[in-house]
Amino acid sequence: MSRQNKFNGTVRKALALDVDRLIKLGKRCFYEAFNDMTAPEDMAAYLTSTFQESEIKWQVTDDRSLFYIAEIDSNPAGYVYSHPAVAPDCVKNEAAIKLERIYLRKRYYGSGLADTLMQTAIDESRFRAYQVIWLSSWELNDRANAFYKKWEFKVVGRQKFTVGSDIQNDYILSRKL
């Protein structure tokens, strides 16, 4: 499903030299999206544990992962990261890839950037012969959940997700490629 959008920038494969930029961008995007709904100590714990240099470097350089960064005027605006992962039983397809993150700066909400990143993830996943793409999304993240619905993701299950000490309820969503 191709989406027409107004994103005016570039999307390229992330490289090892982007790791520091991706860490800063990931932390900033998560903070901007969830700071109003997350206790400061939980936010700090999540950002510290999730955006470790060694982990992000591994994600970027792993040949099996799909990691793309979006830039506007050479400034990082967002990114999408997918990788093969054991899918929960509710996904019901062995040729599935997990959409781990689709992050963008809050200032780019509504710019078409999210559509561009999603289309990139779908196109690259199809190219690698995956049949299903799946993700988890916090049940209270109405904006993201509406976006996934627009892209024809369906809720197929639920799981817990921890942000610091806050245990949240996530939807598991998937769609055929």
Q: What is the pLDDT of residues 21-73, one digit of tens each?
A: 999 999 999 999 999 999 999 999 999 999 999 999 999 999 999 999 999 99
Integer CA distances (angstroms), 8 to 71, 102, 121, 149, in order: 9, 18, 18, 24
Integer CA distances (angstroms), 89 to 10, 44, 136, 139, 163, in order: 36, 32, 13, 19, 23
Q: What is the pTM of this model?
A: 0.93
Domains observed in the chain: 10-176 (3.40.630.30)
**Angle separating helix axes 19-34 and 40-50, nearest 10 degrees:** 160
Q: Which amino acid is at 66?
A: L
